[in-house]
Chains A and B, each alone.
Chain A
Amino acid sequence: MSTQVPSSLVTQPDAHSDKESPRWLGPLVLLGPSGLWLGLLLVIPTLLIFELSLVPGIRPGDIVNPSGLDNYGLIFQPVYFRVIGRSLFFAFGTTFFALLLGFPVAYWIALIAPKQWRNLLLLSFVLPLWTSSLLRSYAWITILRPTGVLNSFLQLIGIPPLDLLNRSPAVLIGMSYSMLPYIVLVLYASLEKLDRRLLEAAADLGANPLQVFWKVTIPQSLPGIVAGALLVFITSLGDFVDPELLGGASSMTLARLIYNQFIGATQNWGFGSALSMILIFLVSLAIALLIKYGDRSQVV
């Protein structure tokens, strides 16, 4: 009995659709599952976080009784601006270094390396993603610490040791490294589609390689660059592991601050929710910029 009921429910709409499939059925079937997923796991939780952010000083076990914007008022303090500023600095820095390091690699794999090796090269670049990000951060501790791998090597060749660990440079190194595979993949996808006839035409018409690169290659791959940069920026803005493990005493970022409000030392879920809304706002802003300027660059 119980197995028959659902099966009849499933087959009935199909039987109908043969004769007169309602116009809304297609979109419903296609978008329904993911819509439900998004609604239950993204929209409703975000609304709940928003509601919590309206309760001043709520801790676990308290009654949720939204009463105002006090939590947002708390954010307007120099110390939290510094935290937000630091998060933005790490995110911009990571984006910059990931682009700087990732573009030549993607360019080489897509345009110069022998074709039969490309997949292998890409795979080897993505390989680090198969290990835990936590493990990769710990590896950086081993490399960067005062008597670590890097400093032992520097000492060997007679260069004074670098004090990198527990400072901002270590965070930037760790985060750029984590983001590199992603940006290489995105840039590769865009460079691979590059129209080589345009490059040849530019060369034929007398442009030197540098001019070809700036006036043809870069504009053509701009959508890929923008998409890759935003992917890295958004992910770094919420990164938690690298600042925590590599940054030392003065590396509080927005994501860590939020963590502290929920399960860290200071359990203020209301303030944590307000901070989360700020992070969501910053990320949405980045995505809005992607939609606006990402499209325009494709027209160019």
Chain B
Amino acid sequence: MAPPALNSSHAQSALRSSGATRRNLLITAAFAALGYGLSKIRWRLGGNPNSHPSTPKTLEIYTWSSYVDQKLLDDFKAQTGITEVVVGILGSNEEMLAAIKAGKGGTYSILYPSDYAVTQLVQANKLQPLDHSRLIGLENILPKFRHSVHDPGNRYSIPVSWGTTGLIYNSEKLTPPPRDWSYLWQYPKLLSRRFTLLDDMREVMGATLKSMGYSYNSQNPEEIKQAYEKLVELKPHIASFTTDAWKDQLLAGDLYLAMSYSADAVTLMQEDSRLRYLIPESGTSLWSDTIVIPQPCPNETGAYAWLNFILQPSVAADMTQRLFFATPNQAAYDQLPAPLRNNQSLFPPDALLTKSEGIAPLNEAMTEIYDRYWTKLTSS
């Protein structure tokens, strides 16, 4: 009795397991087919979004948090009759580039990319050429911003602000005061874990290159490697790579120094008289933020209305006074009160400016070299 029973149960289990393997085989085959099918479909990561036309009464803009405030929006609405302005806040150029290139555009009629991001957007075919006959007051923009390396002749972009990258420091804590980038390497004891650098690959690599006497935009792999090695030496002393989080800690006295953009530094200096902003002697980067019209654009008329509004000298001067960034608009500059015009952190002397460089766009191979060293630096 026992053996047959055993046999039958054995047979059953064999049957069951063969059923199971058959099912497994089917599932594997299905996945293989799916995988093969997927591999045959060539699709584009991102692509062109469908522009959904908005009403002429609404305008969506994608900008930095420090570039708009309620008053600016109210003035705009009162002047143009556009009733609703929707503001998207961008955290970094890279975030915006990824979003726009991946097809998340289509809702915005105005973008605020920085200089090098304009080049990348143009290369990706995401911007509309500007129709200069529809712009009023373009001639007030200073000549050097009308002929920038990123967009000569303002074919796609209009500069809205410019500034430098430098060091903001607590003058009570740092003696002697810093004069150049090399200070970071000279006083490791005083500064150790008391300073932050920007969370920005090009700025940090560029500043280090500049401190060694090379170009902020070096394209020489050997120089870039040297800069990386110099940063590795500094790394244990760096508190953090951050673009924003240093502000509270600098005010509280936990940090003595931070690498920062001039606009942020000047704003913070209003709150604490101990703070000073330094543009390093050996030179730094000059950046500019611009306004562009994306392609596709849901509300073109509204976009031009926004551009012409920002181009008005009184509006630009007002923004500089309220939000503390340097205007590239000569007519607006002339309207500013003398203390602001003479603020050397905001409008540095020409001697320093000639030593500085704009951040130049890199080709893909160079970008990869920078990426590799930056990832190695921040990951170790």
By a beta-carbon cutoff of 8 Å, the part of chain A in contact with chain B is 47, 51-52, 57-66, 79-80, 82-83, 141, 145-148, 163, 165-166, 245, 248-250, 252, 257, 260, 262-269
Contact = CB atoms under 8 A, between A and B. Distances in A.
A60 B42 CA distance: 14
Contacts of A260: 375, 378
Contacts of A262: 98
Given A163-B193, A166-B193, A249-B241, A64 B379 contact: no
A60 B201 contact: no
Nearest to B100: A60
Contacts of A269: 45
B286 interface: no
B371 A268 contact: yes
A210 to B, nearest CB: 44
B240 interface: yes
Contact of A249 (B95, B97, B201, B240): B240
Contacts of A163: 193
A257 B380 CA distance: 11
A58 B193 CA distance: 36
Given A58-B45, A250-B380, A266 B374 contact: yes
A163 B192 CA distance: 12
A147 B379 contact: no
B374 A265 contact: yes
Contact of A65 (B42, B197, B201, B252): B42
A51 B66 CA distance: 39
A91 to B, nearest CB: 17
A145 B374 CA distance: 27
A61 B46 contact: yes
Contact of B380 (A47, A82, A165): A82
A58 B45 CA distance: 8
B45 A52 contact: yes
B19 interface: no
The 5 closest A-B pairs by CB, nearest first: A60-B101, A266-B371, A249-B238, A61-B101, A265-B201
Contacts of B276: none
B379 A82 contact: yes
Contacts of A64: 42-45
B170 to A, nearest CB: 12
B253 A60 contact: no
B30 interface: no
B193 to A, nearest CB: 7
Given A47-B34, A51-B39, A248-B240, A60 B371 contact: no
B98 A60 contact: yes
Contact of A145 (B44, B45, B46, B254): B254
Contacts of B42: 63-65
A67 B34 CA distance: 17
5 contacts: A64-B43, A83-B379, A146-B254, A165-B239, A268-B371
